[in-house]
Structure 1
């Protein structure tokens, strides 16, 4: 099995055939360990939410987009009814590789129109195209066709006129992806790596650390590019930069359509990770410069106002933990401290920054937390610095006061939960495989009052009942 086929096979492991025979999890219960109500939001075994930093909500905030085996679906945020928006094409029974390769791949919910943007590959030409579908009418519009060999795009800008992606740029080795084709720069192509992971594949490989070391060391030439989605531009490609670094995690600003954030991927202690660049290729800027050996920063994401970039910051890897923010308008930096058990793989926040959330992590993660398998709610508090030496470039300190929301000890963190708030802040939404196949869940941010005694259940015990013998977790150190 080649590397591409292996990645496709891995992505399908969210829905093992044996999972279909298992009992359906309850629709709701109150977590005995936290007092917060958990709600199963999706009915499709193998369904999953978006990657934590990809927008999942329509601009009217009425619909959340998610992925399911039958295609891209939407959930009404009031009624919680779901419906299919873009179906996957039919594939032979049991052919998960064909389903993944030829299926629809959600990118992001539109910031301007009530649309979902996605790509789909033509089985005959092996070329991917970008489409958008109206969430309420299901009307589909083809926007652009990507060059042969381009694996897809990772993000759409705020005014929905550009998509951004990366493409290998070197000796050709993969006939199935157009070995005789050339890149927009005129050089032969190689088989594409998964540079800009789209929102449907949240599963990490068993050998993630080894893969990241190998990919970083390969120094594979690539290009960072945008493709125009404007009618009449004929899928115009603009190359923003050439690189032999591993460029990944592309994410346009939710506010400025000309501003793109990206990362230098690899083991975090070996890269200066977080960058932003304008869509004319100028102002390529490093967001966080390390000052200590083994200092790491990553899993960056935009604040909902588009003014601040937030990221996991550890001054010494695995020893001290902060969620840091960088305000683009004034250069102000903020750092909220948390302890080892509160650290999370991913974080998220509300529009007004009054609440933060994290998805926890098992003992194999960088924090090596002995008790870290929780969905967390964080109440931020800034520390009074009056009378202290303070400079404009200092981090302004704060702390998180944590509140457990869901006991995730029966969840296998090989699948990352990828938390986000509902628009009204009443729920933290996440994906979990605690019952076998993955589903999208929500947990209420408020403690449940006046519950029925029968509703109070231990989440891990419920998971063990429906999915006996939690699969062994894997080491996913960065």
Structure 2
């Protein structure tokens, strides 16, 4: 068992360093590593805590993949994350009350598809063509599914009643493009222009081996995620250069009805990095009209189709956005000078509060020393008091939390 002895407690959730520890104001990332596991960001006045130990690379989940499981009784809430060591990559779980970190899985050379089932208290993941689930408390692992030779695909999501896993299958021709052109800037346009078939699918989460092919199109179907509340509603995108695609779609897994969520209305308009609000009623997305000129976050009401848009400045644009459980506040992980916003001052973890037709922003953490090749992928903590993200400003990837309330120090 790996225990991180230096973590503080995130107000009811996690954070208490030893009584002799002093929290000081420091420039985030000015030292590699930082001299302590917590400090006050000198530029923002907000406390930052490193949640993972400096014993290898550690990374939290993609922005719309929930990494948290509620406590059992008085036990602390748990957060699942990836740990990488010379032995390989494996899933760990961190207790947000006791600060203990434990390995959930053995190391794998390659592992992906991480999905936390909060009701089942399992984490699903895939290595090669095989999907497993490991129980977060007992650590018992079970075989869920093995993809057949003629349908090698990847899981990315779990539905609301946790009965079905979902994802997208790509053709061998598509896989060959990835093999020949492994860098994103090389494969991205090639795959889009190839117009190869992709298929959305589900497999049963109970391990009974049932595969359902939902929908096939000669388009790059991607970014697949189930609604958090409606078991039969699956969100997906038409991937490609965002200014060339009507990207955001849903499919009803029972009726197979497909619906476009946002139709572009002007040249080079983009909408993407979509995610469901916690209540499943709204799909939110990064919205620019046109690309790189105006910046906003827009939400589409799934019942009425009406949209509401909150404007942002160029500096506030973020690689990914997310929303709190009550959708009254939002967050962003900032950007870098070569990203779509082309801002030299976008390197912050932001808290956003809607005010009329725009977001009021607050800078929580300065990521000037972070290399955005690793996307921070911000999450609200289970108690809503912290933003959790990954960064490499200490020299390797680690998981951090920044307190939303400003420090009194």
TMscore range, shorter length: 0.7 to 0.9
1:424 aligns with 2:398: no
Distance 1:211 1:105, change over 3 A: closer
Change (3 A) 1:265 1:25: farther
Summarize the alignment of residues 86-97 of structure 1 with structure 2, pairs less than 5 Å apart: 86-89=105-108
Q: How many residues align?
A: 366
User: Is 1:71 aligned with 2:73?
Assistant: no
Q: State the match for 2:133 in structure 1.
A: 132
Cα deviation digits, residues 191-242 of structure 1 (max 9, x gap):
4777xxxxxxxxxx995344211110111222221112235x4x22211111
Matched residues in 1 for 2:337 and 2:50: separation? 26
Give 2:168's aligned residue.
166
SS in 1 for 2:315: helix
Please tell me whether the aligned partners of residues 120 and 130 of structure 1 are also in contact (alpha carbons under 8 angstroms). Answer: yes
Compared CA separation, residues 193 and 308, structure 1 to 2 (3 A): farther
SS in 2 for 1:431: strand
Structure 1 segments of 4+ aligned residues over 6 angstroms from their partners:
none
Matched residues in 2 for 1:192 and 1:56: separation?
Answer: 32
- 1:113 correspondence with 2:124: no
Q: Which has the higher strand share?
A: 2
CA distance in 2, matches of 1:56, 1:362: 25
8 Å CA contact retained: 1:168, 1:193 = no
1:325 is aligned, of 293, 299, 315, to: 299
CA, structure 1 residues 413+25, in 2 after alignment: closer, same or farther (shift >3 Å)? farther
* Gap change, CA 1:23 and 1:32, over 3 Å in 2: closer
The 2-side partners of 1:262 and 1:378 are apart by 26
Q: State the partner residue of 2:4.
A: none
Q: Does 1:257 align with 2:223?
A: no
- Give how far 1:356 is off: 1.0
Q: Which of 83, 101, 107 pairs up with 1:82?
A: 101
CA–CA distance in structure 2, aligned partners of residues 259 and 151 of structure 1 = 20
Report how far residue 243 of structure 1 moved: 1.5
SS at match of 1:130: strand
Does the CA contact (< 8 Å) of 2:243 and 2:291 recur in 1? yes
| Aligned equivalent of 1:283, options 254, 257, 262 | 257
Structure 2 counterpart of 1:402, from 344, 355, 361: 361
From 343, 346, 353, the counterpart of 1:369: 343
The answer (yes or no) to whether the contact 2:113–2:124 under 8 Å persists in 1 is yes
Give yes or no for contact 2:156–2:167 (8 Å, CA) kept in 1.
yes
Query: Greater helix percent: which structure?
Result: 1
Contact 1:30 1:36 in 2 (8 A): yes
| Cα distance in 2 for residues equivalent to 1:154 and 1:41 | 25
CA–CA distance in structure 1, aligned partners of residues 365 and 338 of structure 2: 19
Matched, 1:48 2:48: no
- Structure 2 CA distance, aligned partners of 1:424 and 1:267? 37
Root-mean-square deviation over aligned CA pairs: 2.0
Query: Deviations for 1:281-316, whole angstroms, at most 9, x for unmatched residues?
Result: 522011100000100000001111122111001111
Distance between the aligned counterparts of 1:24 and 1:307, measured in 2? 42
User: Would the aligned equivalents of 1:168 and 1:192 in 2 still touch at CA under 8 Å?
Assistant: no
Matches of 2:115 and 2:184 in 1, distance apart?
25
8 Å contact from structure 1 (residues 253, 260) kept in 2: yes
User: Could you tell me how far apart the structure 1 residues matched to 2:227 and 2:177 are?
Assistant: 24
Matches within 5 A, 1:329-408: 329-381=303-355, 383=356, 398-408=357-367
Matches within 5 A, 1:150-299: 150-169=152-171, 191=175, 207-231=183-207, 233=208, 235-280=209-254, 282-299=256-273
TM value normalised by structure 2? 0.85
